[in-house]
Structure 1
Amino acid sequence: MLLLQGVGQDEKVIAGFIGVAYAIVSIVYFTIFVQNVISSMQSINLIRKIYEETKDVIKKEITGRKNTPAIKYTKQEKEIKVISNKNGYFSAIDYKYLKKLLRRKADLFIIDSKIGDYLNKKTQIAHIIVKEGHDITDIMNDIKEAFIVMDNKLYFNDYRHGLTKLVEIALRAISPAVNDPNTSIHAIRKISVLLSYLARSEHIHTVKVSEDNFEILYIENNLSEDLYFTFHQIVHYAKEDVSVMRALLEGLWLIEQNAVGKNREFVIEYAKEIYTKSLPSHNNKMDVAYLEDIYKKFCK
């Protein structure tokens, strides 16, 4: 109405057009706002779902580790390598089948590849300590068949698959197209809680089968490997975002508080690496102080 003041009855005006344009712009921005809110809620719900599923896998993993005494394996001179004959993701192992094949012919079967690893036809997946006087050449192909290789990863026995999904959400949230650091921070916090469970055990050698002087040994990822695997992409893409880097350091502090033995050293070393990498990207004194405030906890 203000635009119509002082305008004659027969004069043409564009007030109506301006009003309509303003209304359309308002509707567009409101729609974008609503879509962002819905997208954020969907992300939070997805994070919760992945977190719960991954937590269950990790708890089973930790139970298996705790039920196995600490083992120090030393390399033997007479070891037979097992090379994969398939391409794809290492998804599971048929332990019963391996036991049936090897319990009278071998002392120890050590699985070198990790669940979730991508294998090719030249990957060493295991090695065997054969009993003296026995030969396993004729059953080598049968041994390889005990390794289940698939085109896709599986959730139910691979906690790293869940961690990868959470990392993907965190990375997408900090991308320029989305620009939602709060969702990224939420994902990082959930990842940190999951890793804190793994930090409570130092055991990485798990005995899967033990019978008639024959054992099958699976070598787990240690915490240092899990930390790098999980966080290195986030550090690379978010090192200039002080709030995300602060969340990473806070997450590592949570993990350190739950860690035992050498795992604490792994966490402190990785926190130092993250802090050192991100510091050159922050020239603002308040940003630096914001990071130092949490990092100094690792230096006590």
Structure 2
Amino acid sequence: MIQKIKLGYFNNRNFIRIISYSLLSVVLLLITWLFDYHLPGLKTYLPDFLLLSTNVSTSFLSNLSGVFLTVTTFTLTTILTILNYYSSSFTPRIVQDFIDKPHVLSLFGVLIGGFFYTVLALFFLQNLSEDVMVISGTIAIFYAVTSMIAFVLFVRRVLRDIKYDNVIDNVFAQADRLIITEAEQRKSSERYDAEKFQSKLNIFGQSTGYLYHIDHKALLTTLKDIPCELVITKKIGEYIPRGVYIATLNFLNQNELSHEEEIELAKKISNALVFNTVKNESQDYHFEITNIIEIALKALSPGVNDPNTAIICINKLALLLGKLFSSQNHFILLASNDNAKVVYHSYSVEEEMYLTFNQILFYGKSDPAVARAILESIYLIYMISDKSAQAEVKKFFQYSYSLCLEALSSELDQDMLSRIKDDFDQNKDNVSDEKALRSAD
């Protein structure tokens, strides 16, 4: 139930965020009703400068309601323009990144709340005498000042996030945070010896969608009395049709469950894996890596032709993968007790390297600068990564070098690539500070 509530909030978080800020007007209307109508005697405890006449308040609220409506329309137009810019210049999947930034949809909610407050406050004022001093106009003044501050913060956010470098840095920072967490979890994870397993049970998905979340607490509760290891082979963010194999339950003892008990156990395990119609960017580092890849591909397209931006993205990808490969493990121990372990198996080094660079190689291998950047980045990954990953990284370097060398026709360009390969083969740069390279900036 809790996971369903969280999932509902995630899918509707933009609408909820607007509504939550709009509800501020309800609170202010309650304060107005309390002071101006229900308990007018409370106004004697307020300073005189906080009270305005009914005529002044009516005039101010009338003008302010029109201003709120105009600025709300302008803000919506600006947001839609920025989203269109993000979609055409970067990637459609990065649109959500701008929407989720502070001071974006919050401003929209503040302005909508301001419009409702001013209109409803005007409705209340029509029943009061002209010589009555009220607080509704004063509250509107403070609300207008707050709205202007929110608008300034919104403009600052737009001017900052419209730059290429800032957009790439924002995505990189989110991916870096997730990858550092992932690497630390990998380092401290341990599995059972595979030779101890007596039997196994395959688990198949009961839903269709992207693997959004693994409820490891529910899984551990389900498996608490069974000596076993549950290995989840599908990845967070991977699209999985119903009925596809998603996990293996390895028993440390001989499986003594009946067929009906196996079906019930498999169903409980499958239900603990939450599926959604969209990916979970708050947990899936691969989602952020994909965003950087797509920005690089957009920059390499003939219509944009901006190889320098692609090179920046390639360098960022190298830092991320190097930190990810800083552990010899490619799995995470999500939860464990005296009997059971819940293990999440992530991408191997070979899979990660291929998924990251295959499209960039396809579109950028014939550009000399991009080809050099790809090889230098793979060399950087090799330097940062753990020794257990270096063999696969070296293999992919040789693969990338062959593709790039074949795509370049100039002897000078080929010679520049050969120099990078010579450096890689001789490992001349063997004095790098791996700890500094792996840490957050």
Query: Are 1:133 and 2:259 an aligned pair?
Result: no
Query: Are 1:209 and 2:335 an aligned pair?
Result: yes
The match for 1:93 among 196, 214, 221 is 214
127-136 or 148-157, which deviates more:
127-136
| 3-state SS, counterpart of residue 342 of structure 2 | strand
Tell me if structure 1 keeps the 8 A contact 2:211–2:239. Answer: yes
Tell me if structure 2 keeps the 8 A contact 1:198–1:223. Answer: no
Structure 1 residue 74: Cα displacement? 5.2
For residues 35-74 of structure 1, the aligned pairs below 5 Å read: 42-69=163-190, 72-73=193-194
The match for 2:395 among 243, 249, 269 is 269
| 3-state SS, counterpart of residue 282 of structure 2 | coil
Structure 1 residue 152: Cα displacement? 1.1
| 3-state SS, counterpart of residue 163 of structure 1 | helix
Residue 170 of structure 1: aligned partner:
296
AA at the equivalent of 2:178: V
Tell me if structure 2 keeps the 8 A contact 1:43–1:169. Answer: no
Structure 1 residue 276: Cα displacement? 0.3
Cα deviation, 1:257-293, whole Å, max 9, x if unaligned, reads: 1122231111111111001012122121111112112
Cα deviation, 1:31-79, whole Å, max 9, x if unaligned, reads: xxxxx9x9x9722111100000000000110111111236653595621
Residue 237 of structure 2: aligned partner:
116
Tell me if structure 1 keeps the 8 A contact 2:187–2:328. Answer: no
Tell me if structure 1 keeps the 8 A contact 2:366–2:407. Answer: yes
Tell me if structure 1 keeps the 8 A contact 2:192–2:229. Answer: no
176-185 or 201-210, which deviates more:
201-210
AA at the equivalent of 1:133: E
Distance across 2 between alignment mates of 1:163 and 1:205: 18
- Please, what TM-score do these two structures have when normalized by structure 2? 0.57
Residue 222 of structure 1: aligned partner:
348
Tell me if structure 1 keeps the 8 A contact 2:300–2:307. Answer: yes
64-73 or 249-258, which deviates more:
64-73
Query: Are 1:283 and 2:404 an aligned pair?
Result: no
231-240 or 199-208, which deviates more:
199-208
Distance across 1 between alignment mates of 2:196 and 2:304: 50
Distance across 1 between alignment mates of 2:265 and 2:300: 51
Distance across 2 between alignment mates of 1:72 and 1:246: 42
Q: Structure 2 unaligned segments of length 5 or more: list them.
A: 1-88, 90-158, 427-441
The count of residues paired between Structure 1 and Structure 2 equals: 264
Tell me if structure 1 keeps the 8 A contact 2:233–2:346. Answer: no
Residue 156 of structure 1: aligned partner:
282
Q: Structure 1 unaligned segments of length 5 or more: list them.
A: 1-35
AA at the equivalent of 1:87: T
Residue 84 of structure 1: aligned partner:
205
Relative CO higher for 1 or 2, CA cutoff 8 Å, sep ≥ 6? 1
| 3-state SS, counterpart of residue 230 of structure 2 | strand
Structure 1 residue 205: Cα displacement? 2.9
More helix by share: 2
Residue 253 of structure 1: aligned partner:
379
The share of aligned pairs that are identical, in percent, is 28
Q: Which of the two has higher C-alpha Rg?
A: 2
Tell me if structure 2 keeps the 8 A contact 1:105–1:136. Answer: no
Residue 58 of structure 2: aligned partner:
none
Structure 1 runs (4+) deviating above 6 angstroms are none
| 3-state SS, counterpart of residue 237 of structure 2 | coil
Alpha-carbon RMSD across the aligned residues, in angstroms, is 2.2
Distance across 2 between alignment mates of 1:187 and 1:195: 12
Distance across 1 between alignment mates of 2:294 and 2:264: 44
AA at the equivalent of 2:218: Y
**Pair 1:196–1:73, CA change in 2 (3 A):** same
Cα deviation, 1:76-133, whole Å, max 9, x if unaligned, reads: 5621111112111111111111111121135221111111211011321111134543
